[in-house]
Amino acid sequence: MPDAHPSSGPPPRGRASFPIARIAGIQIRVHLTFLLLLALFAWAGPDSGFGSAYAAVAWLLLIFACVVAHEMAHSLVARRRGAEVHEILLFPLGGVSKLEHLPERPADEFAIAIVGPLMSLAIAGTAALFALAAGRSLLPVDLVRGAWLTRVMWANALLAAFNLLPAFPLDGGRVFRALLERRMDLLAATRLATRVGHAFAIALVAVGLLVDVWLVFIGVFVFFGASAEERATIIHTRLRGHQVFEVMRVDLDRTGVPGWRTVTVGPDDDLTDELVAEVAQAPTHELAVIDHDEVIGVLRLEDIERLVSRPPA
């Protein structure tokens, strides 16, 4: 089960998800597709070795509680490093910690990325100690029929090991990028980490076609996740140092359109990832810019994309 780890920008509006809890001020949300996974486990439970539908669903929920702990570790360290954490989103393939922006320093990204697998290893170690104290054997590896403590140990050990693979955007891929930044700039490090992530994803899909279709889904997730993170990094890097006035159009004739979304910024404010995400999420991909209660212009996604796609000077 991969961990998508921190994703930058504000959470998109109108997503097919719902809140289930708030921990340390961080909202935990579940994607609706997770309900399909619950139904699948309940349906297959009696015939899959779990013994009953209740046991199968309980095991799934326990695993996702461990995923929440993994994501909370990311989020709390990110908060200590100065990032604002919007939420944690759970979906069938894992979880995403939604951060306000990308970590600016390689040391911050390293710390945020590594702490998730360390949390999973801590859970695995704790479960192993309790299992041994209860006289349970840690072998064989069995995530279906084994003792619960042993299963928790192996599930979290495997979660940590998988996420430590140097495949962007998994935790190990982000650690890899942070280490690359010691010798190259962020964009170059991201491109190299993305290529490694793509290669790993393709290999995972190839193996999955021969062994287990679940690996195919994970491989596709990793491939497109790496591409999305590369794109986000390019946007983040190329927006740096640019202000709203550089792409704002003076188009006051449309200010009376009902329901037109607005954003309160000044012309000299920085163009940020969050502002671009707001424009992208607007129904018409444009926002009215308001400064001191006065509409002064329009931000359009096409103009921002033109700026981002412009070759660096």
Q: Which of 71, 87, 229, 286 is catalytic?
A: 71
How would DSSP label each residue in 204-227? HHHHHHHS-HHHHHHHHHHHHHHH
- To the query of whether residue 246 is one of the catalytic residues in this protein, the response is no
For the chain, give me the number of helices (H) and strands (E)? 9, 8
Of 236, 202, 206, give the one whose Cα is nearest residue 221: 202
Of 268, 246, 259, give the one whose Cα is nearest residue 286: 259
Alpha-helical segments (H) within 81-105: none
* 186-210 helix and 213-239 helix, angle to the nearest 10 degrees: 170
In Å, how far from its chain's centre is CA 276? Answer: 18
Catalytic residues: 71
